[in-house]
């Protein structure tokens, strides 16, 4: 699987394309999109968008991973970073590829084994995993680390996707069955009939007085 990692930034947006074959990482390409601080922000954002779109078109990644937003001490810096990250997400979404986001702690722990690792530690571990250092600025190295993070978590996403597919299929089947039951005609419900009254045999009427003995005639 070929993964494009993106480390967004208003001055430098790093990117790195990494594959994993037989358990080993292989670097396809890495670099950074630089913008000048004296350039108006709309033009800088446009350059980031166009640069990432060109990278996606050239290397044709299957999946795109990007660093998630994090808390920043300066509100102004957070706003500018959010704008750069926004255009990166737009470029990724416009390509039609699946997009995944990872926070900084997840990236550090996945690559360097510690959520508190600094850039130097991440750079060393990336070089160890690749068998060589990544040529370019720190932003490119960070982007490669983001791509590696997705490779490390790909099995979890695949399992979640399979579960979602099974759940969706089961939901559709249940809905179809319920719809067919509602649509099928129901047999008329008959009210229970009371049992017919039995007629008792009529008994002969009792005599008011006992029968009189027959009179004998004397001859």
pLDDT digits (tens, 9 = 90+) for 131-144: 999 988 999 999 99
Distance CA 91, CA 1 (A): 20
Rounded mean pLDDT of 169-185? 69
- What is residue 213's predicted lDDT score, i.e. its pLDDT? 53
pLDDT band at 121 (very low <50, low <70, confident <90, very high): very high
Residue 187 has pLDDT above 60, yes or no: no
Distance CA 149, CA 125 (A): 12
Cα radius of gyration rounded to whole Å, the chain: 41
- What is residue 77's predicted lDDT score, i.e. its pLDDT? 82
Cβ pair 14, 140 in contact under 8 A: yes
Question: Any idea which residues carry the catalytic annotation?
Answer: 7, 67, 139
208 by DSSP, 3-state: which?
Answer: coil
pLDDT: is 160 or 149 the higher one? 149
User: What is the phi/psi pair of residue 137, to 5°?
Assistant: -70, 170
User: pTM of whole model > 0.75?
Assistant: no
Backbone region of residue 173 per phi and psi (left: phi > 0; alpha: psi in -120 to 50; beta: other values): alpha
pLDDT band at 218 (very low <50, low <70, confident <90, very high): very low
Q: List, as one string, the DSSP characters of 137-166.
A: -HHHHHHHHHHHHHHHHHHHHHHHHHHHHH
Could you read off the pLDDT of 34-76 as tens digits, one per residue? 999 999 999 999 999 999 999 999 999 999 999 997 666 678 8
Distance CA 35, CA 120 (A): 24
- What is residue 217's predicted lDDT score, i.e. its pLDDT? 46
Domain ranges of the chain: 2-168
Residue with tokens 């601080």: 37
Q: Which CATH number fits domain 2-168: 3.40.50.300, 3.30.70.20, 3.30.420.10, 3.90.1300.10?
A: 3.30.420.10
Cα four-point dihedral sign 154, 71, 118, 91: positive
Distance CA 151, CA 174 (A): 35
Instruction: Quote the Cα angle for 180-184-185, to 5°.
Output: 170
pLDDT band at 175 (very low <50, low <70, confident <90, very high): confident
pLDDT band at 162 (very low <50, low <70, confident <90, very high): low
């Amino acid at each position: 699987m070929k993964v494009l990692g993106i480390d967004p930034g208003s001055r430098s947006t790093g990117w790195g394309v990494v594959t994993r074959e037989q358990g080993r990482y292989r670097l396809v390409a890495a670099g950074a999109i630089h913008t000048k601080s004296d350039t108006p922000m709309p033009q800088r954002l446009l350059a980031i968008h166009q640069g990432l779109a060109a990278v996606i078109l050239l290397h044709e990644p299957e999946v795109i991973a990007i660093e998630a937003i994090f808390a920043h001490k300066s509100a102004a810096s957070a706003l500018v970073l959010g704008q750069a990250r926004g255009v990166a997400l737009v470029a990724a979404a416009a390509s039609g590829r699946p997009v995944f986001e990872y926070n900084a702690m997840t990236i550090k722990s996945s690559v360097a084994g510690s959520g508190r690792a600094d850039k130097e530690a991440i750079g060393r571990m990336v070089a160890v995993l690749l068998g060589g250092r990544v040529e370019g600025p720190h932003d490119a190295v960070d982007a490669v680390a983001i791509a590696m993070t997705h490779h490390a978590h790909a099995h979890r996403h695949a399992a979640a996707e399979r579960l979602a597919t099974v759940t969706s299929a089961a939901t559709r089947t249940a809905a179809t069955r319920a719809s067919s039951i509602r649509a099928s005609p129901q047999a008329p419900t008959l009210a229970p009939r009371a049992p017919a009254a039995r007629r008792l045999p009529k008994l002969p009427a009792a005599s008011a007085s006992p029968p009189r003995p027959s009179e004998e005639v004397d001859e």
